[in-house]
Amino acid sequence: MLLDIYEPVDAAENRPVIIFIHGGGYVGGSRVEFVRAGEYFAERGWVAISIDYRLARDHGTIPQEWYDAVMQAPIFQQQKDQALAIYAASRDAKAAVRWVYANAETYHINTDYISVLGGSAGAGLAVMLGITEDEDFRDELTLDDDPTLESTNLDQDAEVHTVLNMWGTTAPIELLSTIYDLDRFDENDAPILIVHGTDDAVVDFSHAEYLRYEYEETGVDYAFYPLDGEGHSAWQARVDGMMLSELAFSFITEHQQLIIGE
């Protein structure tokens, strides 16, 4: 797996970091989709990182419980392929966060200030990172099951502190709950920005409403912005006159209490 790093020029060494996760329904997409967003945050003092993750065509080793549950589900084969890919994609996203912790000194990152932003499937992975525990999507497989785990900084944390959810599915956490009977929503979850088009025909708006409900139940801070009349991947939408990158910037700095020059 590869990642792209956008570093600030002449910025302080005590840097926050934002991780970008692309969408594509777990069958497509690329880390290069976030070049402009990476530059936007790097210009403001962040280290910005855009990651790849495995897709349906190459999902690798899957835990037996996950595989059995998916293959027995009454869904089409394409949906089964996606559901299998969600495990590997989630594991890769967790590994990327652990990589950040492991390489924080090299890139002068303050690991108390880790944000993650995703769109669509990538937002589902971002939400997963903000809600699940370190062991989720890590300990379901052993090194004997999959020796490649040894290269993924297993001794590092995977905690993130702010989630920016752009029209995301909640599939990773729903599957985790269904297959392993785990409810990970609690008061320790990361604050979340929820942005979703009300006319989204790809990821139904109900996913956003579900997240809002869960956050209301736990009492964790959130912001909810329905984009009236917008469909899927509404990157050009504005909220109160702000571009979505500006909205994300504002949400992060407020909830992490950062003071960063614009």
For tokens 């959130």, name the residue: 222
pLDDT digits (tens, 9 = 90+) for 57-72: 888 899 999 999 999 9
DSSP letter at 77? H
Q: What is the pTM of this model?
A: 0.95
Given a cut of 80, is residue 12 above it in pLDDT? no
For residue 121, report the phi and psi dihedrals to the nearest 5 degrees.
-60, -35
CA distance linking residue 9 with residue 177, whole number of Å: 43
pLDDT digits (tens, 9 = 90+) for 147-180: 989 999 999 999 999 999 999 999 999 999 999 9
Given a cut of 50, is residue 262 above it in pLDDT? no
pLDDT for the residue numbered 9: 87
Q: What are 133-136's contacts with CB under 8 Å, separation 24+? A: 133/184, 134/158, 134/159, 136/90, 136/94, 136/176, 136/182, 136/184
Could you write out the DSSP letters of every residue in 90-135?
A: HHHHHHHHHHHHHTTTTTTEEEEEEEEEEETHHHHHHHHHHHS-TT
pLDDT for the residue numbered 1: 84
pLDDT digits (tens, 9 = 90+) for 115-131: 999 999 999 999 999 99
Q: Is the dihedral of CA 141, 95, 176, 111 positive or negative?
A: positive
- List, in order of start, the domains of the chain with CATH numbers: 3-255 (3.40.50.1820)
C-alpha closest to that of 167 among 147, 188, 193? 193
pLDDT digits (tens, 9 = 90+) for 144-156: 999 989 999 999 9
